Amino acid sequence: MAETEITIPSGDILLEGRLDAAEGSQVAVLTHPHPLYGGNMDNNVVWTLKKAVRSLGWTTLRYNSRGVGRSGGSYGDGEGETQDFLAAVRRAVEDGKNTLHLAGYSYGAWIALKGVAAGVTPASLILVSPPLDLIAFQGLSLPSVPCCITLGTKDDFCRVVSLERWVGSQGVPQELLTVKTIPRCDHFYWGWESALAAIVEGFLKGMPEGVAD
């Protein structure tokens, strides 16, 4: 099914989004990289995540945060973008979807975790290249749900050792964690989209029965 253009109220502004609706209870909200560096919902990684999730027959919602594309407002220094994320989550579950999955890339991974800290409880969480060496992740924790984290070994914004140290500090049961590194891949995944899609699809298909039904 083709995506539908939608608007998402976030406080006193409207965000533009793309909803690809499917049958069933599963919906994934996708968050884009840093808006001040060209990040938007049409990013190659966000699009890869959308296709990987949609291949399972789930609904997807991607959106532009404030000040990006045709979304109103201006950059909100992380706090405004967190409010936008919460607004997108509310919109995603409006249509009776009661199994929420989150997938965030780079800055979007940070925003997704800020949303979790604000009370969002997903059934699963995908973090693509969380920029641990660029943005402070202190005080943000992985939820106790199946989590998949991917990273390129040539990522300048999150070294492998930084990810290992952060994941080790989380206290999440190992059986809930899937951490995958892609050799020779950098932060932007150009040319590595298929490898990322395979990881995401494998993770989602392998989740415990009852989560991804």
In the chain, domain spans: 4-205
Burial class (CB in 10 A: 0-12, 13-18, 19+), 98: exposed
What would the two tokens of residue 115 be? 């949303």
Burial class (CB in 10 A: 0-12, 13-18, 19+), 12: exposed
Mean per-residue pLDDT pooled into runs of 10, the chain (213 residues): 93 98 96 98 98 97 98 98 98 93 98 98 98 96 97 98 96 95 98 98 86 58
**Beta-carbon count within 10 A of 11 CB:** 13
What percentage of the chain carries pLDDT values higher than 90? 94
Q: What is the pLDDT of residues 52-69, one digit of tens each?
A: 999 999 999 999 999 999
Read off the pTM: 0.97
Which residues touch 121 (CB under 8 Å, ≥6 apart)?
Answer: 100, 143, 145
4-205 CATH: 3.40.50.1820
What would the two tokens of residue 24 be? 């069933």
